[in-house]
A = this chain, B = another copy of it.
Amino acid sequence: MEIPRTMKALRKTKPAFGAQMVEIPVPKIQPHEVLVKVHACSICGTDVSIYEWNKWAQGRIKNIPQTMGHEFTGEIVQVGAHCTRLKIGDIVSVETHIPDNYSKQTLTGQMHIAKEMKIVGVDRDGSMAEYVAIPELVAWKNDPNMPTHLASVQEPLGNAVYCTLVTPVHGQSIAIFGDGPIGLFSVAVARAAGATTIILVGLEDFRLQLAKQVGADYVINARYENPTARIMEITQGDGVDIVSEMSGSPVAMEQCFEVVRRGGFLRMFGIFKDKVNVDINDHIIFKGITIHGINGRLMFDTWFTVSNLLKSGRLNIEPLITHKLPFEDYEEGFHLMLETPKKCSKVVLYMDREKMK
């Protein structure tokens, strides 16, 4: 396949709201990298933060101009000289976290939280472009038959899989706080893995309906109902075995602590604007709970689980990919996520129109 000299890329070119579609050179790869022709790239909350240029983005993004995006799939069109595993023509998705190669984390199965970590689309050029260069190490080879929209969301689905299944859920009750895409993916994952009471707490009826479609036994709109009271009623006063905080809301965090049962498990995934006031005595110590801080995905245990769940057809996430747009319509995609979360969950942009169904 011939590689052109230039390509379209959606870039953050100035420290302000929005992004620009520009023509730039196709990236040159390093010897340990591969060049991927991007088929599709879905929009992450992180992308929305960068687009919107919120406080977090202002503090975190060091390089401007920089190409956005990191949830993608595409085909390898060039392979660096030191690469040993992949070849031209392979269809890949990509683990966003590029680990160091020397820290204790990397050397002991915690590569995803390596001490020095670079993130695609945050610390270096991302995948909202026709081509992207990535280290071979973080490329995950897909089954070529996997539909493009599913392949492109494996990275965020991996967040949901890692977070939901960090301890087993079979036969357990689980409450998920947050109706964003990862919260909704988590409902589907919990369902596929045998959780027997699944509760989703959110704010948008549109999204709560999606949760029901993919397996929630109960949905609670926190605007209209007190989640703690409702969950204690559902669980007959015992609380739930497992709680996932996926909203980043301090109010939800407090409710999570209230509803997790004595001896239960709490996963923390949602990012907060500020520090949170925690009742360590009553909510952590006397309850004897275990808390897992969740970030990224296990490299590559989680990818095997994601891939197997999708291939087996056990995982019902189709209803959660609410919009498929051509790359050019990126403004509509970001607008959907910024302004009308009432109407969308996951939005996929297609760099290759032929891959749109």
Q: Which B residues are CB-close (under 8 A) to A305? A: 170-171
- In angstroms, Cα B281 to Cα A32, docked, is 32
CB distance from A125 to the nearest CB of B (A): 21
CB distance from A314 to the nearest CB of B (A): 6
Which residues of A68-106 are within 8 A (CB) of B? 82, 84-85, 101-105
Tell me, in angstroms, the Cα distance from A168 to B269 when the chains sit together.
22
Whether B280 lies near A286 (C-beta < 8 A) is no
Distance, CA A173 to CA B305, complexed state (A): 10
Which residues of the other chain, B, contact A314 by a CB distance below 8 angstroms? Answer: 194, 196
A122 CB, min distance to chain B CBs, angstroms? 12
Partner of A271, one of B105, B108, B285, B287: B285
Residue of B nearest to A286 (CB): B295
Q: List 7 A-B contacts (CB under 8 A).
A: A105-B263, A107-B300, A108-B301, A165-B171, A196-B309, A277-B278, A291-B293
A168–B194 Cα gap in the complex (Å)?
11
For the A-B complex with A276-B280, A288-B293 known, give 16 more contacts whose Cβ atoms are closer than 8 Å. A31-B82, A84-B101, A104-B261, A104-B263, A105-B261, A105-B262, A107-B303, A110-B263, A113-B262, A113-B263, A170-B305, A171-B308, A173-B308, A268-B280, A277-B278, A278-B278
Inside 8 A of A144's CB, which chain B residues have their CB?
none
A275 CB-CB contact with B under 8 Å: yes
Within 8 A of B (CB), among A287-311: 287-296, 299-301, 303-306, 308-309, 311
Known: A115-B238, A196-B314, A276-B278. A110 touches B288 (CB 8 A): yes
Count how many chain A residues have C-beta atoms less than 8 Å from C-beta atoms of the other chain: 73
Kindly state whether residue A259 has any CB partner on chain B within 8 Å: no
Q: Looking at the assembled complex, report how far the CB atom of A31 sits from the nearest CB atom of chain B, in whole angstroms.
A: 7
Chain A residues near B (Cβ < 8 Å):
31-32, 82, 84-85, 101-105, 107-110, 112-115, 161, 165, 168-173, 192-194, 196-197, 217, 238, 253, 261-263, 268-269, 271-272, 275-281, 284-296, 299-301, 303-306, 308-309, 311-312, 314
Given the known A-B contacts A102-B85, A288-B112, are A279 and B269 also in contact in the complex, defined by CB atoms under 8 Å? no
Which residues from chain B contact A299 at a C-beta distance below 8 Å? Answer: 107
Q: Which residues of B contact A284 (CB under 8 A)?
A: 268, 291, 293
Q: How far is the CA of A330 from the CA of B276 in the complex (A)?
A: 42
Task: Give the residue of B238, B272, B285 whose beta carbon is less than 8 angstroms from that of A280.
Answer: B272
Report the minimum CB–CB distance from A45 to chain B (whole Å). Answer: 14
Contacts of A114 in B (CB 8 A): 262
Cβ–Cβ contact A293 & B287, under 8 A: yes
Question: Would B272 and A304 count as touching, CB distance under 8 A?
Answer: no
